[in-house]
């Protein structure tokens, strides 16, 4: 009903279902969202796409190929797919600071590259720009990703690009 009402209010609007922890294959939530999308499309509901909130948890995260396969199956339904709210916290990544930043760069690169590889993937949005204002700086939310500091965004607290920014740029360039 919400999709139909929104479509009636603005027939040109692209309407998306957006959710977290649906990036992998085989989880109960990811499968439920896929089945929901199938049912909505089959019923003629004006859904234009699905947003995948990529609040990465490096402690348990699907491989890039799995993320790509999942994006592809939603796109095969005729939906646009987007990576939304992306951040990659480093607190629980093993190693020294340089190792953490290298792994953050790899994760961000691989997620963005998965989107670039899927013709129906229409965008990537980060959940902020600089570590200075990350939602994970709040102890309540940061605890969800374990030990901090999390430093989850492409630019540090002083607005300097981190290796993550380089990885994102490389993925967008097809490298």
Q: Give every CB contact of residue 133 below 8 A, 6+ residues apart in sequence.
A: none
pLDDT value at residue 144: 84
The Cα 168–Cα 124 span in angstroms is 10
pLDDT value at residue 145: 86
**The total number of residues written for the chain in this structure:** 175
pLDDT value at residue 147: 87
Q: Which residue has the tokens 């939603």?
A: 74
Instruction: Please report, to the nearest 10 degrees, the dihedral formed by the alpha carbons of residues 38, 41, 42, 45 taken in order.
Output: 130
pLDDT value at residue 59: 85
For the chain, residues with pLDDT lower than 70 are none
pLDDT value at residue 113: 97
pLDDT value at residue 27: 92
pLDDT value at residue 99: 96
């Amino acid at each position: 009903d919400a999709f139909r009402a929104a479509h009636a209010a603005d027939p040109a609007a692209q309407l998306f279902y957006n959710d977290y922890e649906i990036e992998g294959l085989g989880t109960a939530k990811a499968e439920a969202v896929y089945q929901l999308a199938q049912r909505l499309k089959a019923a003629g509901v004006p859904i234009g796409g699905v947003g995948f909130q990529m609040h990465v948890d490096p402690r348990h995260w699907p491989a890039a190929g799995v993320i790509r396969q999942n994006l592809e199956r939603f796109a095969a339904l005729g939906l646009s797919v987007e990576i939304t709210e992306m951040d990659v916290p480093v607190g629980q990544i093993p190693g020294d600071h340089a190792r953490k930043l290298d792994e953050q760069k790899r994760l961000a690169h691989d997620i963005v590259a998965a989107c670039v590889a899927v013709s129906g993937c229409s965008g990537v949005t980060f959940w902020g720009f600089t570590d200075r204002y990350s939602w994970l700086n709040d102890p309540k939310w940061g605890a969800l990703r374990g030990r901090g500091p999390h430093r989850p965004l492409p630019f540090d607290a002083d607005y300097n690009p981190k290796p993550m920014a380089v990885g994102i740029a490389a993925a967008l360039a097809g490298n």
